[in-house]
Amino acid sequence: MTSIEHTAYPRLKRTLTSKELDQIYTPTPAELFLAHRSAKGPVATLGFLIHLKVFQRLGYTVATSEIPALIIEYIAACAQTPLSSRDLAGYDDSGTRRRHLPLIREALSLSPYGPPARKAFLRAMVEAARTKDDLADLINVALEGPTLRRKPRSRKVDNRGIVFVLYDIMSY
């Protein structure tokens, strides 16, 4: 089975340099405004910001518990919120995160994985299979396909659904 480490599938790093934190996880003034407008209270606002920045980085959602404390603390400091990862313990279980995810997708112009994305994904893999035989190469092509081939005004695709299809393929 092909290892996930040999694919372009984005993952969160446990250790980051100050430069990486600044470039990837610093919320813009517009993102801070959006978070304050979309969330009620400091915990919900921080949760929104964290998931917004992580979604931007990965192209899919993860549980708050999977996000390194370093990233959470950095975003909290940027938002001038004196909270930590411990304060977000109930965020995933509450309905707040579920309400925030559609708002985050809309802000990032992302649409959830669905039939059109699956069709594009499979088309990209079939085309790549003509010249590549390594599963990791096919997975990389598929992950890049839906966003690289989009029309200028079309929406990007949330890669989360692609991951589930890949998992099914790699399980055989």
DSSP for the chain reads: ---GGGS------SS--HHHHHHHHPPPHHHHHHHHHH-SSHHHHHHHHHHHHHHHHHSS---GGGS-HHHHHHHHHHTT----GGGGTTTTTSHHHHHHHHHHHHHTTEE---HHHHHHHHHHHHHHHTT---HHHHHHHHHHHHHHT--TTSPEE-THHHHHHHHHHHH-
Residue 129, pLDDT > 60, answer yes
Residue 117 has pLDDT above 80, yes or no: no
8 Å CB contact between 129 and 138: yes
Q: Measured on CA atoms in the order 90, 96, 97, 98, is the torsion positive or negative?
A: positive
pTM of the entire structure? 0.68
* Measured distance CA(87)–CA(50) in Å, rounded: 13
Residue type, 141: V
Domain ranges of the chain: 4-108, 115-171
Give per-residue pLDDT as tens, 26-64.
999 999 999 999 999 999 999 999 999 999 988 888 899
Q: Is the pLDDT of residue 154 over 60?
A: no
Q: Is residue 155's pLDDT more than 50? A: no
pLDDT of residue 150: 35
Average pLDDT of the chain?
Answer: 78
**What pLDDT is attached to residue 134?**
78
Stated length of the chain: 172
Statement: residue 106 has pLDDT above 60: yes
Whether residue 80 has pLDDT greater than 90: yes
Per cent of the chain over pLDDT 70 is: 75
Q: For residues 115-144, b (16+ Cβ closer than 10 Å) or e, as one string?
A: eebeebbeebbeebeeeeeebbbbbbbbbe
pLDDT at 25: 94
Q: What is the pLDDT of residue 153?
A: 37
pLDDT at position 145: 58
Q: What is the pLDDT of residue 59?
A: 80
